[in-house]
Every structure is written in structure tokens, then in C-alpha cells.
Amino acid sequence: MGDVTRSTAAELGRRLAAKEVSAVEVAQAHLDRIAAVDERVHAFLHVDTDGALRAARAVDEARVRGDELGPLAGVPVAVKDVMTTRGVPTTAGSKILEGWRPPYDATLVSRMRDAGLVILGKTNMDEFAMGSSTEYSAYGPTFNPWDLARIPGGSGGGSAASVAAYEAPLAIGTDTGGSIRQPGAVTGTVGAKPTYGGTSRYGLIAFSSSLDTPGPCARTVEDAALLHAVIAGHDPRDSTSIPAPVPDVVGAGRHGATTGDLTGVKLGLVREFSGEGAEPGVSAAFREGVDALVKLGAEVVEVSCPHFEYALPAYYLIAPSECTSNLARFDGVRYGLRVGDDGSKSLEEVMSLTREAGFGPEVKRRIILGTYALSSGYYDAYYGQAQKVRTLISRDFATAFEQVDVLVSPTTPFVAFPFGSRTSDPYQMYLADLFTIPSNLYGGPAISVPCGLSEGLPVGFQIMAPTMADDRMYRVGAALESALPPLTPPPL
């Protein structure tokens, strides 16, 4: 039967439908793989063995009954630990939520369960999704399967590494400034940020509500599209969920992969990105990716997005401002940690001691920064001005998309870096998201697809599309994937 952990999700779905393999066998094979390698990778914070096998048995029983099942029924998935899972520990990578078992499922978790996906467990992440390396997880970092001395990206490093290490064929991430795409890039996997509002935030522990976007991680573009189709669509429980049909991402991905034809497709190269410090090896691999797309018929047009250079500063005002408000809910009363409540201390003292003990350094820095940016006297110059810059960045996208179909860039300026190399100066860590942040501020979809290696480490190719044109990035991404030789991570 071969090693099912090496199969794509699409292939697994077909083999499950043909009853060549059972969902229990597939789940067990992945649980065995996790048991064999996760001590070294540390992609998971919690493995839900019983829940996974129970869900797999239910799919097998439904199949025997002859129930109508979706294309991913019985396929395992790993879920970033920022999405609530009923009765299954959910920490958001923070000590402040250690041991918390949510009383409800996030919308996209329910949708995956309804589609028969088998949830293997919860993946590691930078605390509250703030970081680009998983070094800010309160539970220790995840290690990049390509080189265990290097970071797997962040914040969703656990999800990306679980997929790269064949512990799961699919995973869920969340992308606020690049937390799906940048880990995808540095682990040689596919990571897609859907249009903001295209996937529900209900049950996603909020970091920056105007930017947070859940999406799929996979080893192929088609697999990412299949998972995207399961989790996307309007949710009345999320007030920013878009009440419109989901673009045909699966059809677009298959079209791109099978025909490989990009005749008439215009790719925009952002002039302002060309001077912005991508490593030479990353730039070279990116250019090879562009050349591959040109061979498929695409046309390259240089476009100007003059405000993109202010995206990173604007983001590091908007996201901390929103986080300072969102993280106020961690007050030691309703859930999680409480510290110092000895009967003599006031509520305010207990709250301050709880938050001091429960939050890590990056979360504290961002809370303080956000409090500063929102203070009276600074509000207009910082938060207010950042929101205006956000408008100008969205206008840059709109103007660019009048000339081209998609924008392309490297996903991240550098390949996976060694642990500890960017933690002493937090701003150096922020630079990892230089190319991913503009799409978050604009709200449009973007995908990272592997495009070769630099210094033996994976490079990501980013495709950015207009709002609600998620299908476009899957078409171009699948065409690129089929034109390039596939990557295989070094053996673990």
C-alpha cells in the first residue's frame, strides 16, 4: 500500500474513496509518523490520538453505510493552536492559557469535522501568533525539517513543519502579517492566505482582528485549494465574513496544473520591492520562477506601488494597537492563569501579576507599543496615520490590478535563519514579513509556492491577487508548481 504519509491529500482522498485504505489506517500511519519524528521537530503542542482515531472510525463507518462523503473525508489535518477545539487543549502558544479546554469549536474546525477531515492535534506557534520563527512560543520552538538548527518560520511554524515533515498532509494556519506564507516559504511547503473575510474568524483567538485570516497549509497547490474550499464561505458568527460565493479555487488550481498555460496572464513585478533587501540566492530563485511562468505564456509588467515601503511601519502600529485591545480579555477571571490571589491583593494587582507571569516578552512589547500608539496625544500621529497609510497601500494594489492580473515577489527576504539570530533585536525579526504584510493591509489573497533552493534551503514564491480573486493565485501557483521540479525535504 506504500507509505500513506507520503501521499498528497488529493491522492489520499481518492484512495480512501476507492476503499484501498481506511481512514483509521491513514490516521494511524500519521500518528506513528508523529511518534517517530516529532521529538525532533516539535511541530505539535498536543496530539489528540483518541479523537483522531474516533473521527477516522466514524468516516469509515459512514463510507460502509454508503453516505455521501467529500473529497477530503478521512484525510488528516493538523490545526494551529490558536483555533478553538472543543474539549481539546488550546493555548495559542501562551502560558496564560495553559490547560484551557475550549467549550466550543471554531467555525472552520466544525466545517472540517463535517467534511470528514480527521484532526490529529494542535500545532506550535509564536505566542498569540506574534513572531516569525516560533521562538516566541511559551512551549519551546519548532525545528525546521530541512535543518533542525534553523527556524521553521512563524507564527505558524508548527503547522508548516508538520506538513513538511510528513506528519500531516494538511494543516490550518492563520495569517495576520505572513504567518501562513512565511513558514510555508522556509519549509518548502504551500501556504495560502485567503481574502480577508473569506474564511471565518469565529473561534480564532484574536490577535489583530482587522488582519487575522485563517487559511490552508499543504505540500501541493491542489491540496491547499481542496482545504480552502472546505473552510471558506460566509459565517453569520463573524461580522466581517463576506456573504458571497467562494471562488472556484479547486477548479482554478487543477486548470493551472493540467494545462500549465498562462497565455494572456499579466504578472506584476513591484518596482519598490526590487531594491528591498532580498538575499541574492532568494532573488535568483525568484527570477527562475518568473522565467518559468514566462515560458508558460505569462507576460511580465513592472508596476509601481509607492506606499509599500510604509507597509511594515503601518503594520507595526495597527497590529499592536489591535492586540492591546484584544488581549485585555486575559484578565485572570474567566479562563486561564491567575497569579497572586492570596486574599490580600486587589483585582488590579492580581491582573497585573497574572499578565506579567502569563505573557512572554514579545507579547508584552506589542501590548506596550499598542498602548503607546493609542494614547491620547500620539493617536493621530501613530494609529490614525497608519490607518491612512493603509488606505494608500490598498489604492496602490487597486492601481496595480488595473494593469496586471497578479503581483509576484519572493515570499520572504531570506531563507530559514538559525535560532537566536534575530531575537535580540525584535525589528530584525519583523523584516521577515516585509513582502507579505502589504496583502494583509489590503485584504487580498496571497499564496506562497516553493520555487527551488538557496544554500540548500527552500525559497518561496509569492503570488498576490485582488480581493475575492483567490482562484487566480491558485491557477498561477499550480502552473508554477507543475513547471518546477518538486522539493523533497532531507530525511528525518
Partner 1 sequence: MAAISREEVAHLARLSRLAVTEEELDRFAGQLDVILQAVTRVGEVAAADIPPTSHSVPLTNILREDVVAPGLERDEALAGAPDTADGHVRERATGQARYFRVPRILDEEA
Question: Catalytic site residues?
Answer: 80, 155, 179
Distances (CA, A) of 87 to 44, 48, 114: 17, 10, 17
Q: Which stretch binds partner 1 (CB under 8 A): 12-20, 114-122, 174-182, 385-393?
A: 385-393
Q: Nearest-CA neighbor of 59 among 104, 13, 103? A: 13
> Shortest approach of partner 1 to residue 226 CB, angstroms?
25
Residue choice 426, 453, 487, 492 for contact with partner 1 (CB under 8 A): 426
Contact 232, 15 (CB under 8 A): no
Q: Which stretch binds partner 1 (CB under 8 A): 64-72, 223-231, 248-256, 304-312?
A: 304-312
Please identify, using beta-carbon distances, which residue of 35 and 333 lies nearer to partner 1.
333
Beta strands in 110-245 (DSSP E): 118-123, 170-175, 190-193, 213-218
Q: Which of residues 309-328 bind partner 1 (CB under 8 A)?
A: 310, 312-314, 316-317, 324
Residue choice 115, 231, 242, 298 for contact with partner 1 (CB under 8 A): 242
Q: Which of residues 96-135 bind partner 1 (CB under 8 A)?
A: 100-104
As beta bridge partners, residue 460 has: 450
Residue choice 259, 364, 421, 492 for contact with partner 1 (CB under 8 A): 364
Residue choice 284, 392, 487, 492 for contact with partner 1 (CB under 8 A): 392
As beta bridge partners, residue 300 has: 267
Q: Is 341 in the site for partner 1 (CB under 8 A)?
A: yes
Element (H, E) at 129: none
Residue choice 333, 398, 486, 488 for contact with partner 1 (CB under 8 A): 333
Please identify, using beta-carbon distances, which residue of 292 and 406 lies nearer to partner 1.
406
Contact 353, 340 (CB under 8 A): yes
Residue choice 88, 170, 350, 416 for contact with partner 1 (CB under 8 A): 350
Please identify, using beta-carbon distances, which residue of 310 and 419 lies nearer to partner 1.
310
As beta bridge partners, residue 218 has: 170, 190
Per-residue burial over 186-207, b if 16 or more Cβ lie within 10 Å, else e, is bbbbbbbbbbbbbbbbbbbbbb
> Shortest approach of partner 1 to residue 240 CB, angstroms?
6
Q: Nearest-CA neighbor of 408 among 318, 315, 278? A: 278
Q: Is 435 in the site for partner 1 (CB under 8 A)?
A: no
